[in-house]
Amino acid sequence: MKIVVLAGGYSPERDVSLSSGSLIANSLMRSGHSVLLVDAFLGLEIPQNEELDSMFRRAGDEEYSYRIEQIAPDMEELKKKAYHGSLVGKNVLTLCHHADLVFMALHGAMGENGQMQAILETENIRFTGSTHVGCVLAMDKDITKKLLKTEGIPTADWITLDLKQDRLPSSVALPCVVKPCSCGSSVGISIVHTEEELKQALEEAKKYEDLILIEKKISGREFSVGVLDGTALPPIEIIPKTGFYDYKNKYQAGATEEICPASLTEAELEQVQALAERVARVLRLGCYCRIDFILEQNQGIFYCLEANTLPGMTPSSLLPQEAAAAGIGYDALCQRIVDLALPAGTV
C-alpha cells in the first residue's frame, strides 16, 4: 500500500510532528508499505520526468529521522516560507491523491483543529484519525470543557479571555493555569501563583493566539489514557522531575518519569478508563486518541484536562508506551491505526 505520512505543518508543534512522522514512516516501511513523509506546510518538489511512485521509500531504503529542539519553532520565521501564502505546501494534495492512504502525524494548528481533515474530506482522500468535526470539538479547549461539563465529566472551572476585546477580570482566583485555547504539547502554558505571573503568562500565551483559557489549578497526580478503537489502554502516570509537564519536559529524554501501567487501585483504574472512553465518544473522536487527567489529591476525582486527537508517536510519547503495556508493539500499533482507517472488509 502507498501511504503518505503527513507531518510538520504550520504549528508550534511541527518539530514534534516531524519526529512522530519519521518514526511512523519507518515503521510502515518495516511493515511492507511504500511510504512518503511530507511536510504539510513546506510541501515537496516533484522532480521533472520522475514517476510519483519512485518518491515513496520502501523497506531497505534510507530511513527518516528528525530531532526535536528544546524550544518551539519561531512561527514568524516559518511563515516566510509559505507556498504562495498557503498553509498547505507545494504538491501536498497531489501526493496525497496519489497515495492509497494518508497517515496523519500532524500536531496542533490546522493538523488538529479540523482544517486539514476538512480539506482531505473535500478531496475524498482517505486518512487516519478523527474527522474534522471531532478535531474541532477537541482542539478548542473552551468547547471541549463545555461539552464535558454538559455530560457530567469533571473538568476544572475556567474562564476564557479574548485579548483583542476583553479586559482582564478585576480578580482571578489563584493559583491558576493559563494556556492558549487551541494549542497542544503544553505550548504557551503557564502555572500562575501571583498577579505579576498572571501578566507574564498572558503575554506568553498571546504569542500563539488571542483566545486564552484561564482555569483553576487542580493539584494531584497526572495521568494520560489512550483510547484505541473505543477501548481504553492502560493509563500512564506522568511525573516531571522539575516544574510541570511543559514542552521541554514532554520531549527531552529523561526530563519526566513515566510509569506505565500506572499504580492505581482497581476502582481508580475502572473510573479513569471509563471516563477516557466517554470523553472520546462525547467529542466524536476517531479510532485512536489520548485523554489527559489530574487525580485530585483530596477528593479522589479524576478531572479531564484535554483530549488529543493525534497523540505523539515519538520515542518519549505516551500512547506507544500504553499500547506496549497492552501487548501492542510500535509497529503493530501503526499498522492497527492504518487498518482502522480502511473500509470494513478490506483488512
pTM of this structure: 0.88
Residue from 292, 316, 317, 322 carrying the catalytic annotation: 292
Take residue 72 and report the three cell numbers written for it.
518551539
Identify the band that residue 26 occupies on the pLDDT scale cut at 50, 70 and 90: very high
Residue from 64, 251, 303, 330 carrying the catalytic annotation: 251
Q: How would you class 347 by CB atoms within 10 Å of its CB: exposed for 0-12, middle for 13-18, buried for 19 or more?
A: exposed
Residue from 111, 129, 184, 312 carrying the catalytic annotation: 312
**pLDDT at residue 194, as a whole number:** 92
Largest separation between any pair of C-alpha atoms in the chain: 67
Residue from 140, 245, 290, 316 carrying the catalytic annotation: 290
How do residues 189-200 score in pLDDT, each as one tens digit?
899 999 999 999
Residue from 308, 316, 317, 322 carrying the catalytic annotation: 308
Average pLDDT of 260-267?
96
8-state DSSP, 217? P
Q: How far apart are CA 56 and CA 29, in angstroms?
A: 10
Average pLDDT of 66-82?
83
Task: Give how far the C-alpha of residue 13 lies from the chain's centroid of Cα atoms, to the nearest Å.
Answer: 9
Active site includes 308?
yes
Active site includes 30?
no
How do residues 89-133 score in pLDDT, each as one tens digit?
999 999 999 999 999 999 888 889 999 999 999 999 999 999 999
Active site includes 91?
no
In the chain, the amino acid numbered 322 is: E
**pLDDT at residue 254, as a whole number:** 60
Active site includes 124?
no
Active site includes 306?
yes
Residue from 11, 17, 19, 185 carrying the catalytic annotation: 185
Strands of the sheet with 34-39, listed across from one edge:
34-39, 2-7, 101-104
Q: How far apart are CA 318 and CA 346, in angstroms?
A: 29
How do residues 153-183 score in pLDDT, each as one tens digit?
999 999 999 988 888 877 788 999 999 888 7
8-state DSSP, 60? T
Active site includes 277?
no
Residue from 13, 15, 222, 246 carrying the catalytic annotation: 13
Matching residue, cell 504539547: 185
All domains of the chain, ordered by start, with CATH?
2-127 (3.40.50.20), 138-154+219-333 (3.30.470.20), 158-216 (3.30.1490.20)
Q: Between 1 and 345, where is the model more confident? A: 1
Active site includes 108?
no
**pLDDT at residue 345, as a whole number:** 59
Element (H, E) at 201: helix 195-206
Alpha helix ranges (H) inside the chain: 14-30, 75-79, 92-98, 109-112, 115-122, 132-139, 141-150, 195-206, 247-251, 266-282, 318-325, 330-341
Active site includes 292?
yes
